[in-house]
A = this chain, B = another copy of it.
Amino acid sequence: MGIGDDAALFVPTPGYQTILTCDWFLEGTHFLREKHPADSVGWKCLARALSDVAAMGGKPRCFLLNLALPKTHIGRWFDDFLGGLNRAAHKFACLLVGGDTSRQEKILINVTVIGEVRTGQAVLRSGAKPGDAIFVSGRLGEAELGLRRLRKTKGRVHKSDLRLKKHLYPEPRFALGQWLAKNRLATSMMDLSDGLSTDLHRLCAASRVGARIDATKIPTVKIRGNDILFRTRQSIGQPKNRPRIALDLALNGGDDYELLFTVPKAKLGAIPASFKSTRLTYVGVTSSTKRIVLTDFAGAEALMPSDGWDSFRS
């Protein structure tokens, strides 16, 4: 059933569990009114909520859009927003079935996604066992690098700027998540929304394990000429620090929406080097110590701080 009644009504698929997730997407906190293309805001508000469904091994079913807009944004901005939203809804086969609207000075968005997963196949954060191999999909830090480039740009960025693609138009890893779930290869899984350093702490806490990550294994972005001028928390952007900048982006950058998952050693052989063009990288191993340790480029070990995105940080 579509929009019309106050509530949407649908028939759950027999033999499936329902997945339910929602995400804020707020001006100032998650996007910048004067910088982000409305088309990207529309795409990303849905894509990031969908990513939570992908990270359980599920498939999307439908979504609710809650939108509050200022008067000034009801015309052109809203049309562009709907353009991006509809493309994402079509691409990921997720139907808009309802929501609520209001008027506010700030642009406020909240998206609720309903997904489904075959009963018993959902992969949770809490299933990792000590000794499991830790994997990540794709390349980490690319979305954060895009955000930094966007912040340096004067005015609104162009939606087709390829250097910003991962930041503006993230793609939930549905095919990978479903394949891992269906074949029972992953003991735990979550999406990387707030940076590996923060999200790995969450996965380990839920699974009551520790981890040892090898910095040299983490798939990072290539830092180009201009990018080294960015100041990061761990580096002041000297050329010699390019690998450190890239590592900082990978560990502490948000919005990648890649998958972080653990695989029992006995099933390592079933994990290919890449899945449908997405690289899968073995970056470390879980442990029974409860400590999360990073082995750096020089082979030195240190506790890995949780320095990623935290919406309550400021």
Taking beta carbons and an 8 Å cutoff, which residues of A are in contact with B? 4-12, 14, 16-24, 26, 28-30, 52-53, 55-56, 58, 62, 64, 66, 68, 97-104, 106, 108, 110, 112, 114-115, 117, 119, 122, 124-126, 190-191, 193, 206, 311-312, 314
CA–CA, A289 and B69, complex, Å: 36
> In the complex, which residues of chain B have a beta carbon less than 8 angstroms from the beta carbon of A28?
104
- In angstroms, how far is the closest chain B Cβ from the Cβ of A286? 17
> In the complex, which residues of chain B have a beta carbon less than 8 angstroms from the beta carbon of A64?
20-22, 112
CA–CA, A246 and B145, complex, Å: 60
CA–CA, A100 and B311, complex, Å: 10
CA–CA, A140 and B125, complex, Å: 48
CA–CA, A66 and B56, complex, Å: 21
Chain B residue with Cβ nearest A312: B103
Q: Can you name 6 A-B pairs with beta carbons within 8 Å? A: A6-B52, A8-B21, A9-B19, A14-B14, A29-B68, A102-B311
Number of copies: 2
Chain B residue with Cβ nearest A55: B6
> In the complex, which residues of chain B have a beta carbon less than 8 angstroms from the beta carbon of A125?
4-6
CA–CA, A174 and B312, complex, Å: 36
Say yes or no: B24 contacts A100, CB within 8 Å.
yes
- Which of A18, A55, A99 has the most B CB atoms < 10 Å from its CB? A18
Say yes or no: B102 contacts A24, CB within 8 Å.
yes
CA–CA, A24 and B104, complex, Å: 11
> In the complex, which residues of chain B have a beta carbon less than 8 angstroms from the beta carbon of A19?
7-9
- Which of A56, A112, A312 has the most B CB atoms < 10 Å from its CB? A112
> In the complex, which residues of chain B have a beta carbon less than 8 angstroms from the beta carbon of A99?
22
- In angstroms, how far is the closest chain B Cβ from the Cβ of A162? 29
> In the complex, which residues of chain B have a beta carbon less than 8 angstroms from the beta carbon of A26?
68, 102, 104, 108
- Which of A30, A52, A191 has the most B CB atoms < 10 Å from its CB? A52
Say yes or no: B11 contacts A97, CB within 8 Å.
no
> In the complex, which residues of chain B have a beta carbon less than 8 angstroms from the beta carbon of A23?
100
Chain B residue with Cβ nearest A122: B9
Given A12-B12, A312-B103, A24 and B66 contact (CB-CB distance below 8 Å): yes
- In angstroms, how far is the closest chain B Cβ from the Cβ of A25? 9
Say yes or no: A206 contacts B5, CB within 8 Å.
yes
